[in-house]
Amino acid sequence: MRVVFHPQFTEVYDSDPAAAPGRMESVLEALEDRYPLITAEAATEEDLLLVHRPEHVARVRERRRLYEIAVLAAGGAIKAATLALEGEPAFGLIRPPGHHASPNSCWGFCWFNNLAVAVEKLRRQGQVGHVLIVDFDLHYGDGTANAFAGVPQVRYRHLSGGSRELFFADLEQCLAGERADLVAVSAGFDRHEEDWGGLLKTQDYEAIGRMLRAYGAPVFAVLEGGYNHRVLGRNVRAFLDGLA
């Protein structure tokens, strides 16, 4: 297990909950050098244009400071995806999140769709064929669904369920479907019982990680939601322990 990170992700680049001070530090503290940190590198504009329209990229570029960290997040996702193909799971400890960023629009604290950019780059390079995207964030990743609408080689699944039992039944069904060459995970921790969703327990994230690893394909994940700093770090650690 390797974790992709950059010190710039600790910068407070906006006023939304995803950009709040102390959020990334809470995860770093919980990991306690548990896994090696790999330095993220910025995505290129060519990378962004694999998913996003030029006018969308131009709009984000107008906010210079935000743009700099957003392209770094997209590059971190690319790095995590590339590392996963080497045979060991990888996690992008990145922000801003991305799953609400569509090709020509964005909302929900997202600017570029980090995971979608990473998946599409690997696809265009011929490194993967079929890709399964599993999104366990509290919120539906409309941006990711929009980015791959009409692309049969990429299957997007947002896990649902009004109870823990239904949630895990949905994940089990998802992983029992058509086999994929790569599993890409939008890892949102805002379903936790002490976060916005009020559903999952910390140990559930370790179970999620184990189930994803048992699928048998290369796996990479990127941070999406998760806003209670008091529990975010231990939830991320549980997920990574399960995935590792």
Question: For 84-136, what is each residue's pLDDT tens digit?
Answer: 999 999 999 999 999 999 999 999 999 999 999 999 999 999 999 999 999 99
User: Taking 90 as the threshold, does the pLDDT of residue 211 lie above it?
Assistant: yes
- Give the Cα separation of 70 and 2 in Å (integer): 21
Q: Name the catalytic one among 100, 139, 158, 192.
A: 100
User: Taking 90 as the threshold, does the pLDDT of residue 163 lie above it?
Assistant: yes
Indicate the pTM of the whole model.
Answer: 0.97
Q: Helix, strand, or coil here: 202?
A: helix
pLDDT (average), residues 138-160: 97
User: Taking 90 as the threshold, does the pLDDT of residue 204 lie above it?
Assistant: yes
For domain 2-243, the CATH class is alpha beta
Active-site annotation holds for 229: no
Strand partners, 177: none
- Give the Cα separation of 186 and 48 in Å (integer): 18
- What is the domain partition of the chain in residue ranges? 2-243
Calculate what percentage of the chain has a pLDDT beyond 90: 98
Give the pLDDT confidence of 22-64 residue by residue, as tens digits.
Answer: 999 999 999 999 999 999 999 999 999 999 999 999 999 999 9
pLDDT (average), residues 171-194: 96
Q: What is the mean pLDDT of the chain?
A: 97
User: Taking 90 as the threshold, does the pLDDT of residue 81 lie above it?
Assistant: yes
**pLDDT at residue number 89:** 98
User: Taking 90 as the threshold, does the pLDDT of residue 68 lie above it?
Assistant: yes
**pLDDT at residue number 178:** 85
Nearest to 234 by CA among 195, 196, 205, 197: 205
Sign for the CA dihedral angle at 164, 98, 194, 26 comes to: positive
Which residues have CB under 8 Å from 176's CB, separation 6+?
none
User: Taking 90 as the threshold, does the pLDDT of residue 162 lie above it?
Assistant: no
